[in-house]
Amino acid sequence: MCELCCKQCKVPLCSKCLSSNLHKGHDYEHISDVFDAQKACIGRERDEMNSIIQKFKEFNTKLDTKSKDRERIYKTLESQVSSREKDMMAALKKAVTKQRQKIKELKTMDQNQLQAEKDKIDQQITKTRESVDYCDKLLDGQNPSGLIQFSSKISDLQNLSGVIPDMNEYIFKTGSLSNDDIDGGFGEIELKQKSEN
C-alpha cells in the first residue's frame, strides 16, 4: 500500500520501498497531498487551455467576418472593373462607329464622283456616236449639200486623256494610344490609404 510519494523520484512509496536504500535521504510527502496538488495543477491547465480554445474560436469568428468583408470588397472591385470596361467599350464603340461613318461618307463621295465622271463619258459616247452616224450618212452620198458644209466635230469632243479623275487615297493611321496607355487609362487596383482617425 503506497501512502507516501518520493519528492525527488516522483514515485509512490510503500513501507518496503522506504526501508530500502533506494530513497535514503529523500524527502517524502503524503500521496493524497500529491494527488490533490496535481489535480489542482491539471485543472488549472485544463481551464487555461479551454480559455485558449475560446480565444481561438473568437479569433476564428473574427476571421470569418473579415473573410466576408473581403469578399464584399472583391465583389465591389469586380463590379467597378466591369463598369469601367463597359464605359471604355462604349467609348471604343463610339470611336469605331465614327470612323466607319467617315469611311461611309468618303466612299459615297468617291462613288458619286466616279458616277459623275462615268455619266460624262456616257454623254461623250452618245455624242460621238451621233457624229459617227452623221459621218456615215455623209459617206453614203445621200446628202451632197451636207457633204459640202461638213465641218470637223473632233475638236468639240472632250479629250479622253485626264477624264478619269485622280482620286484621293486614304489610309488608316492608328492613334497614339498604346497598350500601356490603355492599362493606365483603364485604371488600376491599388492599396487604399488608411485614414488617421
> Which pTM does this prediction carry?
0.57
What 81-88 contacts at long range (C-beta under 8 Å, 24+ apart), as own/partner pairs, is: 81/187, 81/189, 84/186, 84/187, 85/186, 88/182, 88/185, 88/186
Cell numbers describing residue 173: 493611321
Tell me which amino acid residue 167 is. M
Decide: helix, strand or coil at residue 44. helix
Tell me if residue 51 falls in helix, strand or coil.
helix
pLDDT of residue 173: 87
- Cell numbers found for residue 129: 456616236
Query: What pLDDT does residue 88 have?
Result: 92
Q: Which residue has the cell 487604399?
A: 192
User: In sequence order, what are the residues at sequence separation of 6 or more whose Cβ sits closer than 8 angstroms to the Cβ of residue 11?
Assistant: 5
Question: What is the mean pLDDT for each group of 10 consecutive residues in the chain (197 residues)?
Answer: 84 80 82 90 96 97 96 96 94 93 94 90 88 87 80 72 73 84 82 77
CB of 120 within 8 A of CB of 158?
yes
| C-alpha–C-alpha distance, residues 193 and 184, integer Å | 20
